[in-house]
Amino acid sequence: MQMRFFFFLACCLLSFHAQAQNVIPLYPGLPPGGIAARNEETKDDGDNRRLVSEPTLTLFIPPKEKATGAAVVICPGGGYSTVVYKREGTDIADFFLKQGIAAIVVKYRLPSDKIMKDKSSGPLQDVQQAFKTVRQHAAEWNIDTNRIGIMGFSAGGHLASTAGTHFDRPVLAENAGVNLRPAFMILVYPVISMEKYLTHPGSRRNLLGENPDEDKVRYYSNDRQVTLQTPPTLLFHTEDDKVVDVDNSIAFYQALRRAHVPAEMHLYPEGDHGFVLKLQRDAWMQIIMKWLGRTGMLNADNPLLQGGTGQLY
């Protein structure tokens, strides 16, 4: 009898894991604007992905009885040359899942002239498509469409902040009229600017090329793109970051304040780039949970979230 119980329990756990984590293609075939090429994607022992040409979504969907209705789209970092899929992706999603928050990890295409006609817009197109997909499946995945946010690390923070400041400029014409605005943003040691004096050089070069024109540099410098409609934002950075200058987060925070967008920033004196990966995950991410609670993102009845805009003030 006892053995049968444990067998049943194991089956339930396997079933839950299968439900919680599921990988689906982002597009039914070749992405719009894509160039057909052989898939050369590789991954290392840390599950970091390189040469990504076939974008996917990895779904962490809590069961209905545990779902809060909130969701977060996660953009791992990697300097636009790799996708740190596990440590800044699925490991983070697993935490949200345990809190009843749906988490969707985007394995976005890495910018390359070999696989896309405009490499600067390819990653943004994928994230916007991810938002469209989540909205289309919201009822099935127990998600409140007013509470879908975005999170990004490093260059993934640049991608997330681009999604949060360019939501009214869809890359694909067929997404015109689709609500692509995140309800909130969580940016962890993010690249924000593409300006030479501030940016991460590798991220800028990989996304925009060696000598981008000034209009494109300004377009993807997201501190210059903040408006009143930019989503509420939580920022993390260290002052001794030797890879992505902390002034990226400071410039974005200041732009948010000038636009009267609710923002919270956590600056730490030391820890360098990737500092949260050295910390106990469940401890530092409690800061996120408290912030989500304060902003009403865990409360479906918050009247400030009604109407589908997600604007808190």
pLDDT attached to residue 299: 81
Cα separation, 285 vs 295, in Å, equals 16
Residues with Cβ within 8 Å of 253's Cβ and at least 6 positions away in sequence, in order, are 233, 235, 263, 265
Residue 30 lies in a domain: yes
pLDDT attached to residue 74: 98
Q: Are strands 148-153 and 71-75 parallel, antiparallel or unpaired?
A: parallel
Residue 37 lies in a domain: yes
Cα separation, 287 vs 268, in Å, equals 14
Half-sphere exposure of 266 (CA within 13 A, CB side): 16
pLDDT attached to residue 208: 98
pLDDT attached to residue 20: 55
Q: What is the mean pLDDT of residues 166-193?
A: 97
Contact criterion met (CB below 8 Å) for 308 and 179: yes
Local confidence band at 313 (pLDDT 50, 70, 90 cut-offs):
very low
Task: Let me know if 291 is exposed, middle or buried by CB neighbors in 10 A (0-12, 13-18, 19+).
Answer: middle
Contact criterion met (CB below 8 Å) for 111 and 102: no
CA dihedral (167, 172, 176, 179) in degrees, to 10, reads -40
Q: What is the mean pLDDT of residues 105-116?
A: 97
Give residue-wise pLDDT tens across range 234-243.
Answer: 999 999 999 9
Residue 311 lies in a domain: no
Residue 6 pLDDT > 80: no
Residue 310 lies in a domain: no
Cα separation, 206 vs 159, in Å, equals 13
Give residue-wise pLDDT tens across range 254-263.
Answer: 999 999 999 9
Residue 12 lies in a domain: yes
For residue 121, what are the domain limits?
Answer: 2-301
Residue 214 lies in a domain: yes
Residue 310 pLDDT > 60: no
Tokens found for residue 165: 């400041």
Contact criterion met (CB below 8 Å) for 130 and 26: yes
Residue 182 pLDDT > 60: yes
Query: How many distinct structural domains can be found in the chain?
Result: 1
**Angle subtended by helix axes 122-136 and 155-165, to nearest 10:** 60
Residue 134 lies in a domain: yes
Give SS3 for 82.
strand
Please name every residue paired with 107 in a beta bridge, in sequence order, or none if there are none.
Answer: 56
Half-sphere exposure of 256 (CA within 13 A, CB side): 24
Cα separation, 216 vs 211, in Å, equals 10
Give residue-wise pLDDT tens across range 204-255.
Answer: 999 999 999 999 999 999 999 999 999 999 999 999 999 999 999 999 999 9
Tell me the average pLDDT of the chain. 91
* Domain harbouring 204, CATH code: 3.40.50.1820
Give SS3 for 74.
strand
pLDDT attached to residue 302: 59
Residue 173 lies in a domain: yes
Task: Let me know if 2 is exposed, middle or buried by CB neighbors in 10 A (0-12, 13-18, 19+).
Answer: exposed
Contact criterion met (CB below 8 Å) for 4 and 97: no
* % of the chain residues with pLDDT over 90: 88
pLDDT attached to residue 240: 97
